[in-house]
Amino acid sequence: MSNKRDYYEVLGVGRDAQPAEIRSAFRKLAAKFHPDVNPGDKDAEEKFKELNEAHEILSTPEKRQMYDQFGHAGPQGGMGGADGFGVGDIFDMFFGAGGGFGGRGAAGGGERARQQATQGSDLRYDLEITLEEAAFGVQKTLKLTRLESCETCSGSGAKPGTTPKVCSACQGSGQVRHVQNTILGSFATVAPCANCRGEGRIISDPCGTCRGQGRTRQTKEHTIQVPGGVDTGTRLVDQGAGDAGLRGGQPGDLYVVVYLRPHADFKRSGNDVLHDTSISYAQAALGAQIEVPILGGTEKLTIPAGTQPGATFRFRGKGFPDLNTRSHDRGDEIVQVKVAVPTKLNDEQKRLLREFATASGEKAPPDDPGFFDSVKKAFTHK
């Protein structure tokens, strides 16, 4: 027969208590009997352990249902046996707190749980760059806010010259182990220690800089290299540049997401660069050599005589490098020609156009606006 107190009695609630009522009762009593509030009081320490055990069972629906049906001990026999050794003990022997075959002491596995390192969180930074920077690559200096290991306490969280104390509730394991006898045998459950929040230690004299956290939030400059060929949505990873880890854990990573700033002269299409340029209808008809902008400079473009509106010309290798190939072959710059037709003509220009029309076999009455409209349309539409 078990000599344990009824769990409902321990928490001071009825058997029909709702989860919120159980949680509220536990918090109130745990604050009253917490070892830190009652240093050296063994009775308070035992009461606190009893509260943890009762809360663990009654706050878990499956465990509460089993407890309501079988109580503390439950029916004997079956897989449990008269000595209470059952399924839970078998699993505990091989995989439990002892951390090895037959090892059942709390110190071994608990010490590992307490010292388990936690990796820092990853960070994201949205970076806007120009089209030229995306084409040739650039080194950027970011102003980054992240958690860094406290320099005052070297990340321990304790005031320099002091050391954290071993948690008296879990004996430094960071875990509280409960054994429940049921119809299927004895089942061992392990939960994080509420007294030390699973740390296995309690910092009684915290570091004044980080207030016991072991990390401080700082804003510093961080340099990152952006390779040529990136596009909007490209994600760059800088390993180890995220938040610092806890208890010696590795830092997280920094993810830089690239966005290209709109450009006045260029548009991007894959690894190609698109540019529109305007020429006069005289240049289109007679041919010319013009200067057009490219990424990072200018190039001369030869316009053949008789060039039609919408014609395209290609500058090989003047686009973006391909990030997905080892050779990083560059795309092209594609220039599309638009013919600019003047909206107003002076008398001399009109006379010359009439002569041109006559030489071409066309008849244009003097000051006939229809003729000039037809010329304009001819150079603005294919």
User: % helix / strand / coil in the chain, to the nearest 5?
Assistant: 25, 30, 45
Annotated binding site: 150, 153, 167, 170, 193, 196, 207, 210
**CATH class given for the domain over 119-164+204-262:** mainly beta
- Average pLDDT of the chain? 81
pTM for the model: 0.59
Q: Considering all CA atoms of the chain, what is the largest pairwise distance in Å, rounded to the nearest integer? A: 123
Residue percentage of the chain with pLDDT more than 70: 81
Domain ranges in the chain are: 119-164+204-262, 263-340, 344-382
**Pairing of β 123-129 and β 254-260:** parallel
Q: pLDDT tens, 115-137?
A: 457 889 999 999 999 999 999 99
Q: pLDDT of 205-258, one tens digit each?
A: 999 999 988 899 999 999 999 999 999 999 999 999 999 998 778 999 999 999
Q: Which residues contact 282 (CB under 8 A, 6 or more apart)?
A: none
Residue partners of 99: CB distance under 8 A and separation at least 6: 108, 109, 112
Q: What homologous superfamily does CATH list for 263-340? A: Urease metallochaperone UreE, N-terminal domain (2.60.260.20)
Output the known binding site for Zn(2+).
Answer: 150, 153, 167, 170, 193, 196, 207, 210
